[in-house]
Amino acid sequence: MSTDSIKYKELQKDQKKLKFNKSRIHDWGLFAMEPILRHEFVIEYLGESIRQQVANHREREYEQSGIGSSYLFRVDDDLVVDATVKGNLARFINHCCTPNCCAKIIRVNKTKRIIIYARRDIQPGEEITYDYKFPLEKNKIPCSCGSDRCRGS
């Protein structure tokens, strides 16, 4: 087993105690149930790995079927992780312009994985957030993160 795989297996054991609940930001959100320290691993964003073309197709399908939230996480130019059906609790993490976590892409045995880390200490009961870093698009989604430094969309 490679060193990366061993480290990854260790990370998986370290997932923090989390629960989903109603959020002030948007519908459902993910909340810490124990103290989390800065730089600690919080959770992996799991889902189905699909190509960009498939993601475009699914996005249209999901919109047509009335799914109001997007659970598509763009990893790189051609890889998207779709947590709509085969996701874990990380799919409930909302965006914030001043987030308490960040998403990092790591490579384990040639597979890219999305890891959510704490950017600062997090108290039990706090909502887990990261910056979605959406590219500038014409169809901007209004942001309701509530931060003093909210970018607005």
Binders in 15-34 for ligand SAM, by CB under 6 A: 23, 25-29
Binding of ligand SAM by 88 (CB under 6 A): no
Q: Name the β-bridge partners of 105.
A: 114
Least CB distance to Zn ion at residue 152 (A): 7
Nearest distance from C-beta of residue 95 to Zn ion, angstroms = 7
| Binding residue for ligand SAM, selected from 48, 95, 105, 108, defined by CB under 6 A | 95
Sequence-ordered strand ranges (E) for the chain:
18-22, 28-32, 41-45, 48-51, 72-74, 79-82, 94-95, 101-108, 111-118, 127-130
Q: Which is nearer to ligand SAM, 95 or 119 (CB)?
A: 95
Could you give the CA distance from residue 141 to residue 19 in angstroms, rounded to a whole number?
A: 26
d(CA 131, CA 95): 5
Q: Which token pair is 128?
A: 């887990």
> Which of Zn ion, ligand SAM, none does residue 71 bind to, with CB < 5 to 8 Å depending on kind?
ligand SAM
Give the residue with the Cβ less far from ligand SAM, 115 or 143: 143
Sign of CA dihedral 125, 101, 72, 51: negative
> Of residues 119-148, which lie at the interface with ligand SAM (CB under 6 A)?
143-145
Closest contact distance (angstroms) between CB of 75 and ligand SAM is 14
Q: Does 97 bind Zn ion (CB under 5 A)?
A: yes
